[in-house]
Amino acid sequence: MPVSESALDELLDQLRKFAAERDWDQFHSPKNLSMALAVEASELLEIFQWMQESESLAPDADTRARIGEELADVLVYCLLMSNKLDIDLLQAAQEKMKKNAAKYPADKVKGSSRKYTEY
Protein backbone atom coordinates (compact mmCIF):
# COMPACT_ATOMS: atom_id res chain seq x y z
CA MET A 1 0.00 0.00 0.00
CA PRO A 2 1.52 3.36 -0.99
CA VAL A 3 2.28 5.78 1.81
CA SER A 4 1.68 9.43 1.04
CA GLU A 5 4.07 12.16 2.05
CA SER A 6 1.28 13.81 4.04
CA ALA A 7 0.65 10.57 5.95
CA LEU A 8 4.35 10.37 6.86
CA ASP A 9 4.34 14.02 7.91
CA GLU A 10 1.29 13.41 10.09
CA LEU A 11 2.90 10.37 11.70
CA LEU A 12 6.10 12.33 12.31
CA ASP A 13 4.07 15.08 14.00
CA GLN A 14 2.48 12.45 16.26
CA LEU A 15 5.92 11.03 17.09
CA ARG A 16 7.31 14.48 17.91
CA LYS A 17 4.35 15.18 20.20
CA PHE A 18 4.64 11.78 21.87
CA ALA A 19 8.36 12.32 22.58
CA ALA A 20 7.84 15.93 23.72
CA GLU A 21 5.12 14.92 26.20
CA ARG A 22 7.57 12.47 27.77
CA ASP A 23 10.68 14.67 27.46
CA TRP A 24 12.34 11.92 25.41
CA ASP A 25 13.86 14.06 22.68
CA GLN A 26 16.94 14.41 24.87
CA PHE A 27 17.57 10.69 24.30
CA HIS A 28 16.95 10.77 20.55
CA SER A 29 20.48 11.32 19.32
CA PRO A 30 21.35 9.78 15.94
CA LYS A 31 23.57 7.30 17.80
CA ASN A 32 20.77 6.16 20.09
CA LEU A 33 18.17 6.11 17.34
CA SER A 34 20.40 4.03 15.07
CA MET A 35 20.93 1.51 17.86
CA ALA A 36 17.20 1.37 18.57
CA LEU A 37 16.57 0.85 14.86
CA ALA A 38 19.03 -2.06 14.79
CA VAL A 39 17.37 -3.63 17.83
CA GLU A 40 13.92 -3.40 16.25
CA ALA A 41 15.18 -4.80 12.95
CA SER A 42 16.69 -7.68 14.91
CA GLU A 43 13.37 -8.30 16.62
CA LEU A 44 11.75 -8.50 13.18
CA LEU A 45 14.47 -10.90 12.05
CA GLU A 46 13.94 -13.06 15.12
CA ILE A 47 10.34 -13.74 14.10
CA PHE A 48 11.57 -15.33 10.87
CA GLN A 49 14.72 -16.95 12.24
CA TRP A 50 13.72 -20.60 12.13
CA MET A 51 10.80 -20.45 9.71
CA GLN A 52 10.71 -22.38 6.49
CA GLU A 53 10.54 -20.21 3.38
CA SER A 54 6.93 -21.24 2.82
CA GLU A 55 5.97 -20.27 6.38
CA SER A 56 7.48 -16.81 5.92
CA LEU A 57 5.27 -16.24 2.89
CA ALA A 58 2.05 -17.07 4.74
CA PRO A 59 2.38 -16.31 8.45
CA ASP A 60 -0.58 -16.95 10.73
CA ALA A 61 -2.60 -14.05 12.11
CA ASP A 62 -0.67 -13.75 15.39
CA THR A 63 2.66 -13.80 13.59
CA ARG A 64 1.44 -11.20 11.06
CA ALA A 65 0.45 -8.96 13.98
CA ARG A 66 3.91 -9.31 15.54
CA ILE A 67 5.53 -8.59 12.16
CA GLY A 68 3.38 -5.47 11.82
CA GLU A 69 4.44 -4.25 15.26
CA GLU A 70 8.13 -4.72 14.50
CA LEU A 71 7.81 -3.08 11.08
CA ALA A 72 6.07 -0.15 12.79
CA ASP A 73 8.94 0.15 15.27
CA VAL A 74 11.46 0.17 12.42
CA LEU A 75 9.47 2.84 10.59
CA VAL A 76 9.19 4.97 13.72
CA TYR A 77 12.94 4.95 14.33
CA CYS A 78 13.66 5.68 10.67
CA LEU A 79 11.33 8.68 10.81
CA LEU A 80 12.76 9.94 14.09
CA MET A 81 16.30 9.63 12.82
CA SER A 82 15.57 11.31 9.49
CA ASN A 83 13.85 14.11 11.40
CA LYS A 84 16.77 14.53 13.78
CA LEU A 85 19.23 14.75 10.88
CA ASP A 86 16.90 16.78 8.63
CA ILE A 87 16.88 14.14 5.90
CA ASP A 88 13.89 13.96 3.56
CA LEU A 89 13.31 10.22 3.80
CA LEU A 90 11.12 9.95 0.71
CA GLN A 91 13.60 11.91 -1.38
CA ALA A 92 16.48 9.82 -0.04
CA ALA A 93 14.61 6.63 -0.94
CA GLN A 94 13.88 7.91 -4.45
CA GLU A 95 17.54 8.83 -4.96
CA LYS A 96 18.60 5.42 -3.68
CA MET A 97 16.26 3.73 -6.16
CA LYS A 98 17.96 5.64 -8.99
CA LYS A 99 21.35 4.40 -7.78
CA ASN A 100 20.01 0.84 -7.49
CA ALA A 101 18.62 1.01 -11.03
CA ALA A 102 22.08 1.97 -12.30
CA LYS A 103 23.81 -0.74 -10.24
CA TYR A 104 21.29 -3.42 -11.14
CA PRO A 105 20.15 -2.95 -14.76
CA ALA A 106 17.20 -5.24 -15.39
CA ASP A 107 18.69 -6.69 -18.56
CA LYS A 108 21.73 -7.92 -16.62
CA VAL A 109 20.28 -9.05 -13.31
CA LYS A 110 16.74 -10.20 -14.06
CA GLY A 111 16.03 -13.38 -12.09
CA SER A 112 19.38 -13.31 -10.28
CA SER A 113 20.08 -12.57 -6.63
CA ARG A 114 23.77 -11.93 -7.18
CA LYS A 115 25.32 -8.70 -5.96
CA TYR A 116 26.10 -6.07 -8.61
CA THR A 117 29.82 -6.76 -8.24
CA GLU A 118 29.28 -10.39 -9.31
CA TYR A 119 27.76 -10.03 -12.78
Instruction: Enumerate the domain spans of the chain.
Output: 5-87, 88-119
Q: b/e for 36-71, b at 16 or more Cβ within 10 A?
A: bbeebbeebeebeeeeeeeeeeeeeeeeeebeeebe
pLDDT of residue 92: 97
Per-residue confidence in pLDDT tens, the chain, 119 aa: 667 889 999 999 999 999 999 999 999 999 999 999 999 999 999 999 999 999 999 999 999 999 999 999 999 999 999 999 999 999 999 999 999 999 999 998 899 888 877 77
Do you know the residue count of the chain? 119
CB 104 within 8 Å of CB 116: yes
pLDDT of residue 119: 73
Is the domain spanning 5-87 CATH 3.30.420.40? The answer is: no
pLDDT of residue 1: 66
What is the distance between the alpha carbons of residues 38 and 47, in angstroms, rounded to a whole number? 15
- pTM (2 decimals)? 0.88
What is the distance between the alpha carbons of residues 91 and 88, in angstroms, rounded to a whole number? 5
pLDDT of residue 101: 94
